[in-house]
Chains A and B, each alone.
Chain A
Amino acid sequence: MTGEEWAIILLSLKVSGIAVLATMPLAFGLAWLLARGRFPGKLLLDALVHLPLVLPPVVTGWLLLIAFGNNGPMGRWLADWFGITLMFRWTGAALAAAVMALPLMVRAMRLSIEAVDRRLEGAARTLGASPGRVFLSITLPLATPGLLAGAVLGFARSIGEFGATITFVSNIPGETRTIPLAIYGALQIPGNEAVVTRLAIIAVLLSLGALLASELLARRAGYGKGGHVL
C-alpha cells in the first residue's frame, strides 16, 4: 500500500467520522419526533427524511450544489457568516455523506427509541423522577445500543458514498477523493488493477466491520429476536 492510498483511506475515515458525529444530534432529534411525536405533517417529515434513500444520488448532489454551492443561498450564508466553503472541499464531501447517511441513522435510532418500554418510564415517574430525569436515566440508556448501531450504520453508508459526493464536490485528490472516488478514478486509467483491488478490499472490510458492529449493537438494544436495523 502506498502513502497516497493511506491518505485516501484516512480522508475517507475523516469525512465519514465527521459526517456521522455532526449528524448525530439532528438524527436523534428526528428519530425522537418520529417515534414519540404527534403532530400534523409527520408523514411528510418521515418521507422527507427518507428521500435521500430513494432519490438518485446525482440528484441529491445537484440539490446540494444548488443550495450549498458558492452561489447557493446556504453556501453564501455560510461563507458570509462563518467563512466556510463547502463546494469542492472535504467538508462538502462530509455534508454529502451526512445527507445520504441520515435516513439510515434516523431509521435505526427510531427503532431503538420505539423499543423502549414506556411502562418502565411510567414506573420511574412514580418513583419520583421528573420527565427530564426519566429521559436521562431510563430512556437514553435503554436506547443507547440502538443509537450507536444507527451511528455505525451511518458511518458505513458514508464510507460508501459516491454519487452525491462526486456531483457536489468533484473528485479532487487529497481533498474530496475518498475510497469510492479513488477506485472510480483508478478504473479510468488502464493498468491500475492493483490499486483498485487494494482499495476495494479495504472498502469491503470497513463496510463489513461496520455492519457487523451495527447488528451486534442492535441485538443488544433488544429489538426482539428478529430485530435488525437493515
Chain B
Amino acid sequence: MSFEIAVEHRLGDAHIALTLSSAAGLTALFGPSGAGKSSVLNMVAGLLRPDRGRIVVAGETLFDNMGGDRANRIDLSPHRRRVGYVFQDGRLFPHRRVRDNLLYGWRLAAPAHRWMTLDEAVDFLGIGHLLARWPRTLSGGEAQRVAIGRALLSGPRFLLMDEPLASLDMARREDIMQVIERVRDELALPILYVSHDRAEVDRLASTIVTLALDSTG
C-alpha cells in the first residue's frame, strides 16, 4: 500500500472526511474546488493537523491519534516526513537563485536519504540553463520544473502534488504532464495528486479518489 489515509477535520464551516488506501503509482484526489483536497495534502505533509485520523505512507506512520492513550500517538514534524511537495504556484524562494532553490532540501537531507544529485535532477528536468536565474524571471512552466526538481532533490519517500498544472497555459501543461509521467514511471515514487480536471486525472492516475463537497458537516 502506498497511501493509507483516514482523516477527519473541521475547517471553519467545511468538514473534511476522507478514507483512502491506494496501490503504487499515482493516486489522484479528484473533486471540486473547496472540497478540501489541498487540506488533505497539507495533513499528509504535516502542515495541518487533522482532528482525528491516521496517515501511513509506504509503510511508515506519519500521523496517528486514533489510539486511546497519549503514548501511542504519532505526529511527525513536517521536516521529518521526507515528503516532496509540489505546490500549484511553485513557491520557489524569491531570495535564492534557481540553483540554491534546488539545493535547499538536498543540503538539509541526510546523505543516506539523498537519491538524486543536482546534475541528475538538472538533466531529468532539462533546467541546466536556468540555474543562475532568479525565480521571478522564470515562466510558469520553468518555475514548476524547478519546483519539482527541488522536491525530488530533498530525498523524499513520496510526492504530493497540488494542482501543479493549474497555473500553466495549454502548451506548458502538456510539457509538465510528461515530466510528471516520467517521475511516476521512472522514479517509481508514490504520488498523491490533487486536481479538479477530469481529463488530467484520467491520463495520470492509477487510482482515482473522488472527494465530494461537504460543507454541512
Residues of A that sit less than 8 Å from B by CB: 119-120, 122-130, 133, 137-138, 141-142
Chain B residues, Cβ within 8 Å of A123: 85, 87, 91, 93
Closest A residue by C-beta to B41: A126
Q: How far is the CB of B76 from chain A (nearest CB, A)?
A: 12
Q: Determine whether the beta carbon of A125 is less than 8 Å from that of B47.
A: yes
Does B46 make an interface contact (CB < 8 A)? yes
A sample of 9 cross-chain residue pairs with beta-carbon separation below 8 angstroms, ordered by A number, consists of A120-B93, A123-B93, A124-B93, A125-B79, A126-B81, A126-B85, A126-B154, A128-B105, A142-B94
Q: Do B150 and A127 touch across chains, with their CB atoms under 8 A apart?
A: yes
Which residues of the partner chain B approach A126 to less than 8 Å between Cβ atoms? Answer: 45-47, 78-79, 81, 83-85, 151, 154, 160
Which residues of chain A are within 8 angstroms of B129 by Cβ–Cβ distance?
none
A-side interface mostly: helix
Fill in one digit per residue for B66-89: 1 if any A CB lies within 8 Å of its CB, else 0: 000000000001110111110100
Inter-chain contacts of B160 with A (CB < 8 A): 126
Does the CB pair B93–A119 fall under 8 Å? no
Residues of B within 8 Å of A127, CB to CB, are 79, 104-105, 108, 150-151, 154
Q: Which residues of A contact B83 (CB under 8 A)?
A: 126
- Docked Cα-Cα span, A124 to B83, in Å, equals 11
B109 at the A interface (CB under 8 A):
yes
Would you call B203 an interface residue if the criterion is a C-beta within 8 Å of the partner chain's C-beta atoms? no
On B, residues with C-beta under 8 Å from A are: 42, 45-47, 77-79, 81-85, 87, 91, 93-95, 104-105, 108-109, 150-151, 154-155, 160
CB distance A128 to B79 under 8 Å? yes
Q: What B residues does A142 contact at CB under 8 A?
A: 94-95
Interface contact A133-B78, CB-CB below 8 Å: no
- List 4 tightest A-B contacts by C-beta distance, closest first: A127-B105, A128-B108, A125-B78, A126-B85
Q: Are A129 and B79 in contact (CB under 8 A)?
A: yes
Q: A130's contact among B79, B109, B155, by CB below 8 Å, is which?
A: B79
B146 CB to nearest chain A CB (Å): 12
Q: Shortest Cβ distance from B209 into chain A, in angstroms?
A: 21
How far, in whole Å, are A123 and B85 apart by their CA atoms in the complex?
7
Q: A124-B104, A125-B77, A128-B154 are in contact. List 11 more A-B contacts (CB 8 A).
A: A123-B87, A123-B93, A125-B46, A126-B47, A126-B79, A127-B105, A129-B79, A129-B108, A133-B108, A137-B104, A142-B94
Quick one: closest A residue to B85, CB to CB?
A126
Q: What residue of chain B has the Cβ atom nearest to residue A144's Cβ?
A: B95
CB pair B46 A138 closer than 8 Å: no
Taking the closest CB of chain B, its distance from the CB of A92, in whole angstroms, is 40
What is the minimal beta-carbon distance from A65 to any residue of chain B, in angstroms? 45
